[in-house]
Amino acid sequence: MTESFCRQMRQEAGDQGIVLDDRQLEQLYLYYEMLSETNKVMNLTAITEESEVVTKHFSDSLSLVRAFGGGDGFGKYLEKGVSLIDVGTGAGFPGIPLKILFSGMRVTLLDSLNKRVKFLQDVCNKLELKEVMCIHGRAEDIGRQEEHREAYNLCVSRAVANLATLSEYCVPFVKIGGCFVPYKSGEIEEELEQSKKQSLCWGKD
């Protein structure tokens, strides 16, 4: 593990109220190495430079804690035995970094490309991550299955899709009283308005 990776990862996590231990740093770095190596033969991400992976993939993935008042707040939420599904996870973001940070969380990684799912399984095995399920399938199909419909406390997604469409795919996974947290940035006001209008049809609070 490089000193620059360790320093940057600790600093950016600390800015979000997160304290990483040595084991978590080792897991994140091993994940980075596997991502970089596999990306040579499989298109997983256009972002491969170490510092950019830390900021744009790892730190961004962990930013979910901001919705719960920081790392401690999310940690308290997890005491309830939270289950999380990451829809359209791709190379494993945000699901795998969140699992590394909160090892007690039950995580399902869903992606429509089988070779990416195989990579995710390899990563989870190598990092010795327990209670992680990697599923190959489309969200609109898996969300209809009884074992996954309204089965999760949290649904997250960094998938590149319109928020209204993304919500249509993701909300069916969420338990009553649970949360769907899309990773969005930039000018999304129009998307938010469209998704609010559509939410009136779901009847889920």
Domain that holds residue 59: 3-183+193-199
At 128, which helix (H) or strand (E)? none
pLDDT-derived band at 190, boundaries 50, 70, 90: low
pTM: predicted TM-score of the whole model, two decimal places: 0.88
Residue 54 resides in a domain: yes
The amino acid at residue 66 is: R
pLDDT value at position 204? 43
pLDDT of residue 132: 97
Name, in order, each residue with C-beta under 8 angstroms of 14's C-beta and a sequence gap of 6 or more. Answer: none
**Angstrom distances, CA of residue 180 to CA of 36, 126, 156, 192:** 30, 29, 6, 13
**15-38 average pLDDT score:** 96
Classify residue 8: in a domain, yes or no: yes
Bigger pLDDT: 12 or 200?
12
Whether 33 maps to a domain, the answer reads yes
pLDDT, one tens digit per residue, over 70-111 is 667 677 767 667 899 999 999 999 999 999 999 989 999 999
Q: Three-state SS across 148-191?
A: CCCCEEEEEECCCCCHHHHHHHHHHHEEEEEEEEECCCCCCHHH
Beta strands 106-111 and 83-87: pairing type? parallel
Number of residues written out for the chain: 205
* In-domain check, residue 204: no
**Domain-located, residue 68:** yes
Over residues 143-169, the mean pLDDT reads 90
Split at pLDDT 50, 70, 90, the class of 205 is very low
Q: What is the CATH number of the domain that holds 44?
A: 3.40.50.150
d(CA 121, CA 119): 5
Burial of 60 (0-12, 13-18, 19+ CB in 10 A): middle
Residue 15 resides in a domain: yes
Give domain status of residue 78, yes or no.
yes
Q: How many separate domains does the chain show?
A: 1
Q: Answer whether residue 188 is part of any domain.
A: no
The pLDDT of residue 96: 98
Tell whether the model's pLDDT for residue 146 goes beyond 70. Answer: yes
